[in-house]
Structure 1
Amino acid sequence: MPRSPHRAVAVLLPLLVVVVTACSAGPSQRPAVAYHDGEQQIAPAPQPPKPAPVPPLGPPAQDALSWQDCTEATRAELGVPALPPGTAFSCSRLPTTLDAPEDPIGGTARTSLIRTGTGRVPLVLVGDTRGEPGTTFAARTALRLPPEVLSTFTVIGLDQRGTGGSDAADCIPPQQRDAIAGFDPLATERPELDRLLDAVRVASQECLLELDERLQAYDTWRTAADLEELRLELRVPKLHAIGRGEAARLLTTYAERFPASVGRMVLDGGPDPTRDAIGQNEAQAQSAERTFDVFAEDCRTGGCPLGSDPRAAVAELLAAPPPGLPGGHVVRAMLRGLSDRERWPELAAALAAARGGDGAGIEAMVRPVVSSDGADPPWLDGELIRSCNDTTLRVPPQRTSEIAADWVARFPLFGGVAAQRLVWCSGWPVPQQPLPTPRRPDVPPIPVISTAHDPLQLALGTDHLAEQLPTGVPLSWQGAGHGAVGRSECATRAVARFLVYGAVPTEGMACPG
């Protein structure tokens, strides 16, 4: 696929550096020399692999999984009064290899699946681990996809390891879960943050006791293998998939591990691969602040219940929340509400009610994070375990205090909670290896969509992901929320054309908000 000149230069520069370095290395690293008719000739340098073409859709799935109708249960979980005519959902479980670090050839895991659509070619939808279960995300997103996608594909969603119905991690004691999720978002002093650290240590000890060898098996590296086992079970040559947010990192890890299995893939709002955990959390705080400003402006134009200055109103709420409403819950409710623009009126009303002493609306938005919701475990457990298993960085307590003071000053609404995520992993076992950097040059084109105002992923970071991927095709949506597919008509159409017809979007395409 043609690349723009500046992107081509970016790819060639590392190669030039390698060639120049090789000239000063030992003889074993010099180009091969051949002789022809007595003349010395230097063999041409090996060329890097070329991007693979967009693969065909391939044959229909031929899995032998036991699927059971779950339409009514899914409708209830989505919270909608009725489904579109003809819409049906079925659910199943896929046994996979646990592959725990202590016992890589023993143990099994169970992956919870859901499917819908009338097409026969599988399309896997994967969402974040810091939100609703992946099966719920896939069902909700499927209702927003164009008919041509649902008539071409069987949309399959899965709960990632440790979340939803996939061997859910429900191991943090309720007292510690409440302390972690509700911790003061304005805390910056070392003694204050030490209380959070104590809660995290108890949580990690309890999870280690309960999960044992399974604890460190809940990570992105091994979940990528679950996707490959799903592909093999479906008996299809390629895996077609959409990954939103942190699930984009899951798909790039899959591409590094199983490049020959990569089909038509789309990354929707992925994290910045050029930043460590500190940089990524800082970027998320920055992006959440910017998204709140868009929310505030939108609120003001519609008769905002927060008054003429929503930011000042929320800052006052965080400084003095009503009795029984932890400040950390307020921030988590805002992050959840800001992620879906359709929920902005609900968020504004909940914040206004909390200022008046009624925190019921805020607690309703944050309840799934800290409490079991039907068959689903609290979201916090899987989010904490997965985030700590996916990074080798461990930040000392004193450094965390310095970061918290800096971020609360620069990002007054969201900086504190972002810094607290670094505390989570302080006493966590360090994974054996970091996740691979996405660098496969021989996979098909991969559209990468950034959203201008995404409270969970900075648009610039997603742009860096597109630049890092040798076959990445950057798109942008000038809207607000977490994820463009199913929300931006323009971006959704471009994704549908790519998935159904193999039409690669124009590089640098921008969709209006």
Structure 2
Amino acid sequence: MPRRQVARESRPARRGPVRSAALPALFAAALLGTLAGCAAGPSNRPVIAVRQDGGSSGSPPISTIGPKPVPPLERPGSPGITWSDCDQPTRDQLAGLGNAAGVPYQCGRVVNVLDAPGQPGSGTARISVLKAGDGPVPLVVVNDVGGEPGTLYAARLASQLPRAMLSTFSLIGVDRRGTGASDAAECVPPDVRGRVVGYDPSSARLDDLLDAARRASQECVLDLDQRLAALDTWRAAADLERLRQELDVPRLNAVGHGEGSRVLTTYMSRYPDRIGRIVLDGSPDPALDGTGQAEARAAGAEQTFGAFVTDCVAHGCPLGGDPRQAVRGLLDGLRQRPVTAPDGTQVTAGTALTAMLLGLADRPHWSDLAGALARARIGDVGGLAALVAPLLGGPDRNPARLDPQLVTGCNDTGTRLSPDRVARTAADWRGKYPLFGGLFADRLLWCSPWPVPQQTPPTTLAVPGAPPVLVLSTASDPITPAPGTERTAQQLTTGISVAWQGGGHGALATSPCATTAAQHFLVDGRAPTDGTVCPP
């Protein structure tokens, strides 16, 4: 009969020159455990975080064995960034997004070479950065290109992480080139954004979507000129190297969230001798092309919706006893008669599905998504419109997030499909993934009219001699599905996988167990056991 070795406390040996007397007992104690079997040879069963009493624990087991030690933490030398106070504006933006009390914010800018393919080594890229907290060691934070600007994401993350982490680190949020305050790519006409987001994926006619994609491409080519081809992951990785130089640290310590993880894996392949402590919180599948990525996300979104339905019913769902049927009824109604929200957004079935996808990614606010869907059933679509407003350019006047998502996404893939091919794919995926299959299939048409890039991110992630990299996956993730994240850990060869059995986009600051693993890894240089599973 199998015998389980439960977690035991042990005191870790600290690594690196950074010391902090403020670190609590959480960092002075680690859990050590494995699952053992009676059969000879290694077990293939996952490691599970457990307590001495047999219950699940918020702390993962710690591995003391690795192919190479975790790099030491080193303080900056003489940073070249001029920081200025931006505390109040940042707090204003964080209103309703998290408790930011006590975390100071400063803003700065890094200048790098634009390095467009047609004009290598020339031009200027101005990168906006934000420092959250005042810990001695910089920890760079990179977000999805279509998500919150990295500066705002880092500020929010700093308000959610255990404060002890900020005794060691200051989070350095980066607005990737073309996003946020980094010379935002605002090139798609507002009406075209509405047509792209609002396109109904149940339609068999793709003419309107293709026309909208053509107009977006034409306007962005004219507006951005040489900048257009310079907005990609390859050059975003070079921006991180420039940031490392300006921070004056020998290695880059960083957290990548979702698609932002691809910037870090690209950085690792380009600058292998500059790799510090890296955490990837969700990651695109490096083995899949654009079509494969889209299908994986369709499957991930369906799975996440299933988890949302289960959670909603368990907590008195405002959508009733059959949320799936309620959502289907809402979409059918919007197909017959779209509804205009108070902010002027026309909410179609496509708009509602996009809003749902964004809401499913935000696990702490699933109850808000359920409420917005319930109100939409009686004609109040304001909640759904609010979810898509950042994509379209909301009343806060922040740059629309759809534009850099389109530009960078199309520059990062060579996939260009014909309308006929997309139509056949959509018909197939609507059968496989009834809710989101058509949505992701139709998105394959977004890049069809765009110029084919000369260079795309590397698909092979193995970096010989790389130090351990912590890779966090989320079981039901609609943006970076767990199988792709796990494949990232496998390809890295030094990847240490921690799988959270929860839902939403990303585990850091949401799963206590995964967050503790990141704490031990980043602060103490102690990697969890590869294959650790964190409870939901």
TM-score, normalised by the number of residues in structure 1: 0.88
> Is the CA contact (8 Å cut-off) linking 1:58 and 1:121 kept in structure 2?
yes
Q: What's the offset of the Cα at 1:51?
A: 5.5
For the 8 Å contact 1:287–1:458, the answer to whether it is kept is yes
CA contact (8 A) 1:339 1:482 kept: yes
Superposed CA offset, 1:131-162 (max 9, x none)? 11111111111111122210101110011111
Per-residue CA shift, 1:197-233, capped at 9, x if unaligned?
1110011000000000000100000000000000001
User: Once the 2 structures are TM-superposed, how far is the Cα of residue 129 of structure 1 from its aligned partner?
Assistant: 1.0
Look up the match of 1:508.
531
Instruction: Give 1:427's aligned amino acid.
Output: P
Deviation at 1:241, TM superposition (A): 0.3
How many correspondences in the alignment? 466
Cα displacement (A) at 1:52: 4.6
Deviations 1:221-273, CA, capped at 9 Å, x for gaps: 00000000000011110000010110111110000000011100011110111
Q: Which residue of 2 aligns with 1:468?
A: 491
Q: Secondary structure at the match of 1:226?
A: helix
Q: Quote the residue 2:269 is aligned against.
A: 256
Q: 1:224 to 1:492 in 2, by over 3 A?
A: same
Read off the aligned partner of 2:184 and give its amino acid letter: A
* Matched-pair contact (CA < 8 Å) for 1:438–1:469: yes
Name the residue aligned to 1:64: 80
Change (3 A) 1:84 1:211: closer
1:384 is matched with which residue? 406
Task: Confirm or deny that 1:426 pairs with 2:426.
Answer: no
Q: 1:43 — aligned with what?
A: none
Q: For the Cα contact (< 8 Å) 2:94–2:100, is it kept in 1? A: no
Corresponding residue of 2:421: 399
Identify the match of residue 253 of structure 2 among 240, 264, 269: 240
Report SS of the residue matched to 1:243. strand
Of residues 335, 339, 345 in structure 1, which corresponds to 2:361?
A: 339
Give, in whole Å, the separation in 2 of the partners of 1:512 and 1:51.
27
Other structure's SS at 2:513 match: helix
CA contact (8 A) 1:61 1:122 kept: no
3-state secondary structure, aligned to 2:164: helix
Which residue does the alignment assign to 1:157? Answer: 173
Distance, in Å, in 1 between the alignment partners of 2:234 and 2:42 is 32
Residue type of the alignment partner of 2:127: T
What letter matches 1:55 in structure 2? P
Alignment-derived partner of residue 76 in structure 1: 92
- Name the CA shift for 1:94/1:358 in 2 (closer, same or farther; >3 Å): same
**How far apart are residue 403 of structure 1 and its match?**
0.7
Counterpart Cα distance in 2 of 1:6 and 1:98: 50
User: Where in structure 1 are there 5+ consecutive unaligned residues?
Assistant: 8-49
Q: State the Cα deviation string for residues 389-425 of structure 1 (Å, max 9, x = none).
A: 0001111211100111111222122112211221011
Q: Which of 442, 448, 452 is the matching residue for 2:471?
A: 448
Q: Deviations over 1:153-192 (max 9, x none)?
A: 11100111111111101000111111001110212x2xx2
**2:77 pairs with 1:54:** no
Compared CA separation, residues 320 and 476, structure 1 to 2 (3 A): same
Note the C-alpha offset of 1:374: 3.1
1:464 and 1:373, CA in 2 relative to 1: closer, same or farther beyond 3 A?
Answer: farther
Gaps of 5+ in 2: 1-34, 36-40, 44-65, 341-346
Q: Distance in 2 between matches of 1:131 and 1:433?
A: 23
Deviations 1:366-390 (A, max 9, x none): 1111124535211100111111000
Whether the 8 Å contact between 1:185 and 1:318 is mirrored in structure 2 is no
Identity %: 52
Q: Secondary structure at the match of 1:147?
A: coil
Q: Identify which of 473, 477, 482 aligns with 1:459.
A: 482
Q: State the match for 1:318 in structure 2.
A: 331
For 2:250 and 2:160, the matched residues in 1 are separated by: 27
Choose the corresponding residue for 2:215, options 198, 202, 206: 202
TM-score (norm: length of structure 2) = 0.84
- Aligned residue for 1:107? 123
Partner residue, 1:193 = 206
Call closer, same or farther: CA 1:208–1:384 in 2, change over 3 Å.
same
Distance 2:98 2:174 in 1: 23
* Equivalent AA in structure 2 for residue 102 of structure 1: G
Shift in Å at residue 61 of structure 1?
Answer: 5.1
Distance 2:42 2:177 in 1: 39
Q: Structure 1 CA distance, aligned partners of 2:100 and 2:380?
A: 35
Tell me how far apart the structure 2 counterparts of residues 75 and 59 of structure 1 sit (CA, whole Å).
Answer: 27
Counting only pairs closer than 5 Å after superposition, residues 13-412 of structure 1 correspond to structure 2 as: 52-60=68-76, 62-80=78-96, 83-187=99-203, 189=204, 192-321=205-334, 322-324=338-340, 325-372=347-394, 374-412=396-434
CA spacing shift, 1:484–1:433, aligned 2, 3 Å: same
Q: Is the Cα contact below 8 Å between 1:474 and 1:509 reproduced in 2? A: yes
The CA distance in 2 between the partners of 1:163 and 1:254, in whole Å, is 19
Does the 8 A contact of 1:441 with 1:471 survive in 2? no
Q: Which amino acid aligns with 2:382?
A: A
Distance in 2 (alpha carbons) for counterparts of 1:442 and 1:6: 25
Does 377-386 or 68-77 show the bigger shift? Answer: 68-77
Match of 1:31?
none
Q: 1:204 to 1:156 in 2, by over 3 A?
A: same
Matches of 2:183 and 2:439, distance apart in 1: 27
- Quick one: which amino acid aligns to residue 464 of structure 2? P
Determine helix, strand or coil for the equivalent of 1:272.
coil
RMSD: 1.9
